[in-house]
Amino acid sequence: MKIILFIALCFLQNAVLAQMAKPVRVINNFDNDWSFMQEDVNGADKIDFDSSKWRKLNVPHDWSIEGAYDKANLTARGGGYLPSGIGWYRKSFNLDETLLGKKISIEFDGVMANSDVWINGVHLGKRPYGYISFNYDLSKHLNFGKGKTNIIAVKADNTVQPASRYYTGAGIYRHTRLVVTDLIHIDNWGVFITTPDVSTQKATVKVQTVVSNESAKAAQITVETSVLDGSGKVIKTVQSKQAIAANTSIKLDHSIEVANPKLWSVEMPSLYKILTKMSIGGKIIDDQINQFGIRNFKFDAATGFWLNGKNFKLKGACLHHDGGAVGAAVPLSVWEFRLKKLQEAGVNAIRTAHNPVAPEFLDLCDQMGFLVMDETFDTWTSAKNNGEKGYNRFWKEWWERDTRDMVLRDRNHPSIVIYSVGNEIHDNLDNPEGFQKYKDQQDLVHQLDPSRPVTMALFRPANSKVYTNGFAETMDVVGQNYRENELVALHNQKPNLKVIGTENTHVIQQYLALRDNPFMAGQFLWTGFDYLGEADWPQITNGQGLFDRIGSWKQQSLQRQSWWSDKPIVHMVRKEENAGAGDWIGNWTPTDFDTYDDAKVAIYSNCDEVELFLNGKSLGSKPKPADDSPRLFDVTFEKGTIKVVGRNKGKEVASEELKTAGPPSKILLSVDKTKIKNIWDDVAFVTAKVYDEKGNLCPNADNLIKFTISGAGMIYAIDNGNIASHEMYMAQQRHAYHGLVMANIKANAIGNIEVKATADGLESGSIRLEVVNK
C-alpha cells in the first residue's frame, strides 16, 4: 500500500481541489526551518530574541528519543529512563500583504507537553495535554508585506516528572500547518458526515456544516456539498442558501442519496470524499475536503459486533503512540509497516492506548481497513503509580476541551466504531461523583457524535463494584481490562449488556473467552508492538507486544496468527533451554550444544493435522485440539533441520522448517522497498542479518554492526528490538540481537542511496535504494 501523504487531510484537500481553478482555502505545511534549543531560555518568546545559534531542524521532532538512557533520569520507569526538561522552538516567516484581512491560523497535531505558543511576542495560549491537536488564530498579531517578519515561539515543558506510565516523547512531535481562510469560513473540524441508512442498493449520506462569520457584516451564503467517489468523480451535489449575521455561527444540514455505494469494510475499505464549497454572490470564499466511508455497524448484546450486516469479532491490539527507535515523532511509513505486520497476524482492530493519536494514523486505518477504538485519557483525577504527576493534575479543567477537540477532529473516520473515555480509571466509581464524571463525558461524546457508542476500560470491577452498583448499566458498551471470566459472568447475569474486552493478554484462556462466547464483541491484546517505557531498569521497553520494536515475530504473534488468521498457518517454537526451561523461541540453534538435548517443541497451527520431521525422519502426527491449543512434541535434539507440515483433509497446505546455524560468516541486507520518496513521512527499513556460510540465519549472533550510507539519504534511526539495550537510536552502529539489526533510512535529495553494513570478521553486505519524486 502506498504511504498516505495527506497529513491531517492537507494533501488530500489540495489534490481534490486541484479540479478547481484555484483552491480558496490555503493550507501550507509549516514543518520546515525551525530553530530549537533544549533548555529553558529567558526571553525566547520575544520577537527580538536572537536564536541564530540554535539548532536548525524540521518538525515533527522528538528530542527525548535523541538522548541517552540513564537510570537517574526523572522520567524513570514510566518514561523509559529517557531525558525530560524544556525545549524551545522558534520560526520566522513572511506573509504577502494580499493576505491582510484574512483569517490565518496555526495548527499543531500535537506538542509534548504543557505547550505555550507566542506570535510576535503575544501569548496565544497553553495546552497541557501533549496528545491533543489544537490551533490558534494569529490574524490580529501578524505583520504583512515585504521585509516584515513574523516570529512564532513554542515552549514545551516536560520538567515535572514522572508525568506518564509510558513514554511520551518531548517537543513538537507531530505535524504543523498554517491555514488561510476568509473571515466567513467553514469551521475547523466543522463538517460532520454520517451514513445513517446503508444498503448495497443505496445509502443516505448526511452532512452537517458549521459556518462562522467573523466579519463585521451579515452575508447571504451558499453552501454546496458534493459527494465524490474514490477517483474524485462527483456523484451528486446539493446546495442551500442562508443568511449569517456578523460574529455568529450557523449549522447547515444536507442529505444526499448515493446509489449502489461501495461499502467500507475490513476486506474492502472503500472511501469517498465530501467536497464543501461556500460562496457569496457566486464567488467561492472557502472550500474543504473530508474523507469518509459508507458503512453501518452495531454492537449487539447477544451477538457482539456487526458491520454492514456481517457478524464477526473485533480481533484487536492496543498500540501506544511511540514508534520504537523514532520515539514519538513517527513517520507514517513506520505505522504502515507495523499495521501490515498486525494484519498478517490476523488483527483487524486497534485501540489507541491511551490517548488521541496523530490524525494521519487514523487516515491509515481508514485506508487499510482497521476498526478503531478511539480513546481519550489514561487518568482522570486520581494519579497512577509511576505517573503521579501526569494528566490527573489537569483533568478537571481540561477534560471537556480535550474530549471535544478529539471527537470533532476524528468523527469522520469510518474506521472508528467506538470511543473510550478512560483506561483503568482509579477515581471512585462507587459514588454519585464517579457516576457523574463518566456521564458527563459520555453525554459530551453523544452530543458531538451521536453515531457511535462510548465505553471505558474498567479496572478490577469486583473491587470498584461497577458490576453491582448500576454503573455498568450506564455504559453504551461495557469494556473491561483482563479478567475475562468476570465479564462473561456479568453478561450471563445481565444479558442485555453489550460487552467487549478492552485489554487482554495472549494466553489461551482469554482467547477462548472471545471464541466461545457469541456476545463478546471483541478483545484488544496488550499490546500489538513492544513500547517504550513501563519497564524496570535495566529494561527500558515493555515487551508484551505481539511484535518487538522492529517488527520481529515472537512466540505470541506466531500463536495468535494460528488463532486469528484466515489462511492455513503452521509455526514451531522450542524452549530456549534444556528440558523445558526458558522462553519459547523460533530457532533450532541452541546457545550451548553440550547441555541441550531435551527439546520441548510446540506447534501453532490451525490445520487439521500437523506432522513433525527431524532430519527427514517423522516424529509423528497430531490432530487439531478442540481448544486450539498448541501441539506439543518432546524431541531429542540433533543438529540439522526440523520441519513441520500442516495438512487439511490430508493435503499439505503449509509448512515451516528451522535449521541449525554454524559460525557467523556474513551480513546480508534486505529492505522493505527499493524506492523511497524524499518526504519526512517515508522511511525504508533496511535489515542486516548475520548468516553462516551456508546461508542460515545465526540467531545467537550479537556482532557490532556498523552502517555507512552514501548518496541521497541518511540513517534516521537504528534498532535491534532488545528491550534491555541502552544503545543510542540516533547512531550508525548497534549490536545484533537475535542475529539482526534494522536501520531506518530516509531520503534527503533525489538520486540513489547505497547502504553498507560491516562487522569485524564478517563479510559485509550492501543494498541500493532509489529516491523518487513525491
Rounded to an integer, what distance in angstroms lies between the CA atom of residue 428 and that of residue 84? 31
Q: Cα 451–454–459 angle (5° rounding)? A: 170
Rounded to an integer, what distance in angstroms lies between the CA atom of residue 380 and that of residue 465? 18
The partner residues of 279 in beta bridges, in order of sequence, read: 222, 284
Residue 513: Cβ within 10 Å count: 18
Report whether 265 contacts 297 (CB < 8 A): no
Residue among 101, 183, 175, 85 nearest 134 (CA) = 175
- Going from the C-alpha of 716 to that of each of 552, 728, 747, the distances in angstroms are 19, 12, 9
Rounded to an integer, what distance in angstroms lies between the CA atom of residue 756 and that of residue 671? 12
Amino acid at 671: V
Residue among 599, 596, 574, 600 nearest 587 (CA) = 574
**424 belongs to the catalytic site:** yes
Chain centroid to Cα 756, Å, comes to: 31
Helix (H, G, I), strand (E, B) or coil at 510: helix
Angle between helix axes 395-410 and 359-368 (nearest 10 degrees) is 40
Look up residue 213 and give its three cell numbers.
Answer: 462569520
The partner residues of 420 in beta bridges, in order of sequence, read: 375, 455
Residue corresponding to grid cell 503512540: 321
Residue corresponding to grid cell 455497524: 297
Ordered strands of the 310-311 beta sheet? 297-300, 304-307, 310-311
Report whether 90 contacts 152 (CB < 8 A): yes
Angle between helix axes 432-448 and 395-410 (nearest 10 degrees) is 30
Residue corresponding to grid cell 525545549: 87
How deeply is 355 buried, as exposed, middle or buried, from its count of CB atoms within 10 A (0-12, 13-18, 19+)? Answer: buried
SS3 content of the chain, % helix, strand, coil (to 5): 15, 40, 45
Q: E strand or H helix at 666, and its extent?
A: strand 666-671
Rounded to an integer, what distance in angstroms lies between the CA atom of residue 381 and that of residue 226? 44
Rounded to an integer, what distance in angstroms lies between the CA atom of residue 719 and that of residue 324? 8
Q: Can you give the length of the chain in residues?
A: 774
Annotated catalytic residue: which of 66, 503, 577, 656? 503
Annotated catalytic residue: which of 375, 424, 577, 611? 424
**397 belongs to the catalytic site:** no
Look up residue 603 and give its three cell numbers.
Answer: 506447534
In the Cβ-directed half-sphere of 30, how many Cα atoms lie within 13 Å?
Answer: 27
How deeply is 42 buried, as exposed, middle or buried, from its count of CB atoms within 10 A (0-12, 13-18, 19+)? Answer: exposed
Rounded to an integer, what distance in angstroms lies between the CA atom of residue 373 and that of residue 351? 5
How deeply is 532 buried, as exposed, middle or buried, from its count of CB atoms within 10 A (0-12, 13-18, 19+)? Answer: buried
Report whether 566 contacts 520 (CB < 8 A): no
Sign of CA dihedral 169, 171, 177, 182: positive
Residue corresponding to grid cell 484537500: 13
Longest dimension (CA), the chain: 88
Rounded to an integer, what distance in angstroms lies between the CA atom of residue 514 and that of residue 348? 14
Residue 671: Cβ within 10 Å count: 18
Residue among 666, 707, 663, 719 nearest 690 (CA) = 666
Q: Cα 355–745–755 angle (5° rounding)? A: 160
Amino acid at 180: V
Residues annotated catalytic, as ranges: 424, 503
